[in-house]
Amino acid sequence: MNSFFAASFFSERLLQTISWTLLHSLWQGLAMALFAGLIMLISKRQKAQLRYNLLSVLMLAFVVGISTTALIEWHFFKSLAHIPSIQYLSASEVSGGILNETQMLQARSWFKTNVQLLRSLFEQNHLLFVGVWILMLSLKSIKMGLDIWSLYRMRWYRTYQPSLYWRNRLIDLAPQSKAKQ
């Protein structure tokens, strides 16, 4: 993807930091969602205030985690260009010729090679990743704004006091339905 447009507004370091932070936020968000589910299961019979406080602490931990990730990516971002490529080892190259050790080294080599491949693929397309994220954030923000406007409109647009009959009827039915207000 051509980074000329994005590079004119943002530095490459900032774009890399944002993209890697967003990528890490996926697994961090998944972990927090699992913790939130666990909190909801454990505190099912507790007061709603306790659940709210626990989930608020969890949300704060998520924000702190994302912020820490962004700071780490900003200050310590380094490319993997200085890391030499890993070669597959044959059984004769491993001291003692132990087959299990060779298989383990080959598996590690395969894993590191594929991780490097995924990392380079992500770094080549980080602008696309950030762009899709910004698009989704914008669409969700617009939807949230429209929902808030809709609630405001439902509450205040063409509202009027019900007639005396319906007010009395509501007062009579409230004890039967066990409604408090």
Instruction: Identify the DSSP state of 163.
Output: P
What is the rounded CA–CA span in Å between residue 57 and residue 55?
5
Q: What pLDDT does residue 100 have?
A: 67
Amino acid at 8: S
Q: What pLDDT does residue 97 have?
A: 47
Q: What pLDDT does residue 74 have?
A: 85
Q: What pLDDT does residue 5 have?
A: 53
What is the rounded CA–CA span in Å between residue 116 and residue 81?
10
Amino acid at 25: S
Two structure tokens written together for 65: 């985690």
Q: What pLDDT does residue 119 have?
A: 80
Q: What pLDDT does residue 49 have?
A: 93
- Burial class of residue 87 (count of CB atoms within 10 Å of its CB; 0-12, 13-18, 19+): exposed
pTM of the model: 0.54
Stretches in the chain below the pLDDT threshold 50: 1, 79-97
